[in-house]
Amino acid sequence: MHLRSTLLALLLAASASFTAARAATNNNSPNDLRAAIVYNIVRFVDFPGSGNRLEMCVARNADGASQMLALRGQRVGNRSISVRMVDSASVGGCDVFYLGHASAAETARARSHGVLLVGDTPSFINSGGTVGLVRMGKQIRFEINARNAQHAGLTISSKLLRLAARVEQ
Protein backbone atom coordinates (compact mmCIF):
# COMPACT_ATOMS: atom_id res chain seq x y z
CA MET A 1 0.00 0.00 0.00
CA HIS A 2 2.91 2.37 0.76
CA LEU A 3 4.30 1.82 -2.76
CA ARG A 4 0.91 2.68 -4.27
CA SER A 5 0.74 5.91 -2.23
CA THR A 6 4.26 6.86 -3.27
CA LEU A 7 3.57 6.19 -6.95
CA LEU A 8 0.32 8.14 -6.79
CA ALA A 9 2.16 11.09 -5.23
CA LEU A 10 4.77 10.96 -8.00
CA LEU A 11 2.09 10.77 -10.67
CA LEU A 12 0.24 13.76 -9.27
CA ALA A 13 3.43 15.75 -8.72
CA ALA A 14 4.42 15.20 -12.35
CA SER A 15 1.38 17.18 -13.45
CA ALA A 16 2.17 20.20 -11.30
CA SER A 17 2.12 22.67 -14.18
CA PHE A 18 -1.34 21.56 -15.29
CA THR A 19 -2.91 21.26 -11.85
CA ALA A 20 -1.36 24.49 -10.60
CA ALA A 21 -2.86 26.38 -13.52
CA ARG A 22 -6.27 24.80 -12.89
CA ALA A 23 -6.09 25.41 -9.13
CA ALA A 24 -5.51 29.10 -9.76
CA THR A 25 -8.80 29.35 -11.59
CA ASN A 26 -10.94 26.79 -9.79
CA ASN A 27 -11.38 24.90 -6.55
CA ASN A 28 -10.49 21.38 -7.77
CA SER A 29 -14.00 20.30 -8.59
CA PRO A 30 -14.57 16.65 -9.57
CA ASN A 31 -14.48 17.74 -13.22
CA ASP A 32 -11.09 19.43 -12.73
CA LEU A 33 -9.83 16.24 -11.09
CA ARG A 34 -11.11 14.16 -14.03
CA ALA A 35 -9.16 16.37 -16.44
CA ALA A 36 -6.00 16.11 -14.33
CA ILE A 37 -6.36 12.33 -14.07
CA VAL A 38 -6.91 11.96 -17.82
CA TYR A 39 -3.84 14.10 -18.50
CA ASN A 40 -1.71 11.98 -16.17
CA ILE A 41 -3.01 8.73 -17.63
CA VAL A 42 -2.20 9.86 -21.17
CA ARG A 43 1.36 10.61 -20.09
CA PHE A 44 1.88 6.92 -19.24
CA VAL A 45 0.48 5.45 -22.47
CA ASP A 46 2.45 4.81 -25.66
CA PHE A 47 0.30 5.42 -28.71
CA PRO A 48 0.90 3.79 -32.10
CA GLY A 49 2.14 6.03 -34.86
CA SER A 50 4.09 9.21 -34.62
CA GLY A 51 3.57 12.87 -35.15
CA ASN A 52 3.71 15.99 -33.09
CA ARG A 53 0.04 16.02 -32.00
CA LEU A 54 -1.98 13.83 -29.70
CA GLU A 55 -5.59 14.15 -30.85
CA MET A 56 -8.11 14.10 -28.00
CA CYS A 57 -11.82 13.98 -28.72
CA VAL A 58 -14.30 14.85 -25.99
CA ALA A 59 -18.00 14.03 -26.10
CA ARG A 60 -19.68 17.42 -25.95
CA ASN A 61 -22.32 16.19 -23.45
CA ALA A 62 -19.83 14.52 -21.08
CA ASP A 63 -19.47 15.74 -17.50
CA GLY A 64 -16.28 17.75 -17.38
CA ALA A 65 -16.12 18.30 -21.14
CA SER A 66 -15.27 21.98 -20.75
CA GLN A 67 -12.52 21.18 -18.24
CA MET A 68 -10.94 18.81 -20.78
CA LEU A 69 -10.39 21.84 -23.01
CA ALA A 70 -7.73 22.95 -20.51
CA LEU A 71 -5.59 20.05 -21.76
CA ARG A 72 -5.21 21.78 -25.13
CA GLY A 73 -1.56 22.62 -25.72
CA GLN A 74 -0.26 20.52 -22.82
CA ARG A 75 2.76 18.39 -23.72
CA VAL A 76 2.95 14.61 -23.58
CA GLY A 77 6.54 13.73 -24.38
CA ASN A 78 7.26 15.42 -27.68
CA ARG A 79 3.57 15.71 -28.62
CA SER A 80 1.15 18.54 -28.01
CA ILE A 81 -2.43 17.72 -27.03
CA SER A 82 -5.09 18.91 -29.42
CA VAL A 83 -8.67 18.84 -28.08
CA ARG A 84 -11.87 18.88 -30.07
CA MET A 85 -15.44 18.57 -28.90
CA VAL A 86 -17.55 16.04 -30.82
CA ASP A 87 -21.18 15.02 -30.85
CA SER A 88 -20.80 11.38 -31.80
CA ALA A 89 -18.81 8.39 -30.56
CA SER A 90 -18.34 7.33 -34.18
CA VAL A 91 -15.91 10.12 -35.04
CA GLY A 92 -12.47 9.10 -36.26
CA GLY A 93 -8.97 10.52 -36.01
CA CYS A 94 -8.75 10.48 -32.21
CA ASP A 95 -5.88 9.09 -30.14
CA VAL A 96 -7.85 9.61 -26.92
CA PHE A 97 -11.64 9.73 -26.63
CA TYR A 98 -13.24 10.96 -23.41
CA LEU A 99 -16.83 9.69 -23.49
CA GLY A 100 -18.02 10.52 -19.97
CA HIS A 101 -21.18 8.54 -19.17
CA ALA A 102 -21.41 6.44 -22.32
CA SER A 103 -23.73 3.58 -23.11
CA ALA A 104 -22.30 0.22 -24.16
CA ALA A 105 -23.37 0.96 -27.75
CA GLU A 106 -21.56 4.33 -27.78
CA THR A 107 -18.46 2.70 -26.32
CA ALA A 108 -18.56 -0.05 -28.97
CA ARG A 109 -18.83 2.55 -31.77
CA ALA A 110 -15.89 4.52 -30.40
CA ARG A 111 -13.87 1.34 -29.83
CA SER A 112 -14.02 0.50 -33.52
CA HIS A 113 -11.63 3.42 -34.08
CA GLY A 114 -8.85 1.86 -31.97
CA VAL A 115 -8.22 4.66 -29.48
CA LEU A 116 -7.71 5.07 -25.75
CA LEU A 117 -11.30 5.23 -24.51
CA VAL A 118 -11.94 6.95 -21.19
CA GLY A 119 -15.36 6.99 -19.50
CA ASP A 120 -17.16 7.50 -16.21
CA THR A 121 -19.64 4.65 -15.96
CA PRO A 122 -19.01 1.93 -13.34
CA SER A 123 -18.86 -0.88 -15.91
CA PHE A 124 -17.03 1.12 -18.59
CA ILE A 125 -13.98 -1.15 -18.87
CA ASN A 126 -16.23 -4.21 -19.10
CA SER A 127 -18.18 -2.77 -22.05
CA GLY A 128 -15.20 -2.05 -24.28
CA GLY A 129 -13.58 0.97 -22.63
CA THR A 130 -9.89 1.21 -21.83
CA VAL A 131 -9.87 3.42 -18.72
CA GLY A 132 -12.82 3.93 -16.39
CA LEU A 133 -12.90 6.78 -13.89
CA VAL A 134 -14.75 5.53 -10.83
CA ARG A 135 -15.81 7.14 -7.59
CA MET A 136 -14.57 5.42 -4.44
CA GLY A 137 -15.87 7.33 -1.47
CA LYS A 138 -14.75 10.92 -1.97
CA GLN A 139 -12.00 9.96 -4.41
CA ILE A 140 -11.99 9.52 -8.16
CA ARG A 141 -9.87 6.49 -9.06
CA PHE A 142 -9.33 4.68 -12.33
CA GLU A 143 -9.62 1.15 -13.66
CA ILE A 144 -7.85 -0.21 -16.73
CA ASN A 145 -8.79 -2.93 -19.20
CA ALA A 146 -5.36 -4.09 -20.38
CA ARG A 147 -6.83 -6.40 -23.02
CA ASN A 148 -8.77 -3.53 -24.64
CA ALA A 149 -5.61 -1.40 -24.60
CA GLN A 150 -3.62 -4.15 -26.29
CA HIS A 151 -6.31 -4.62 -28.98
CA ALA A 152 -6.11 -0.87 -29.69
CA GLY A 153 -2.32 -1.10 -30.10
CA LEU A 154 -1.64 0.85 -26.90
CA THR A 155 1.12 0.15 -24.39
CA ILE A 156 0.32 1.17 -20.84
CA SER A 157 3.19 1.72 -18.42
CA SER A 158 3.49 -0.81 -15.62
CA LYS A 159 3.73 2.16 -13.24
CA LEU A 160 0.23 3.25 -14.25
CA LEU A 161 -1.11 -0.30 -14.03
CA ARG A 162 0.14 -0.52 -10.42
CA LEU A 163 -1.76 2.67 -9.53
CA ALA A 164 -5.07 1.47 -10.94
CA ALA A 165 -7.84 0.54 -8.52
CA ARG A 166 -8.47 -2.50 -10.75
CA VAL A 167 -6.84 -3.97 -13.85
CA GLU A 168 -8.87 -6.26 -16.07
CA GLN A 169 -6.69 -8.67 -18.01
Q: Looking at domain 2-168, which CATH architecture does it have?
A: 3-Layer(aba) Sandwich (3.40)
| DSSP annotation string for the chain | -HHHHHHHHHHHHHTHHHHHHHHHHS---HHHHHHHHHHHHHHTEEPSS--SEEEEEEETTSTTHHHHGGGTT-EETTEEEEEEEES-TT--S-SEEEEES--HHHHHHHHTT--EEEE-STTGGGGT-SEEEEEETTEEEEEEEHHHHHHTT-EE-HHHHHHSSEEE-
pTM of the model: 0.84
Q: What is the per-residue pLDDT across 116-158, written as a single tens digit (0 to 9) for each? A: 999 998 889 999 999 999 998 888 999 999 999 999 999 999 9
> Using one digit for the tens of pLDDT, what is the confidence trace for 62-119?
989 999 999 999 999 999 999 999 987 777 889 999 999 988 888 888 887 768 999 9
37-73 pLDDT tens trace:
999 999 999 998 778 999 999 999 998 999 999 999 9
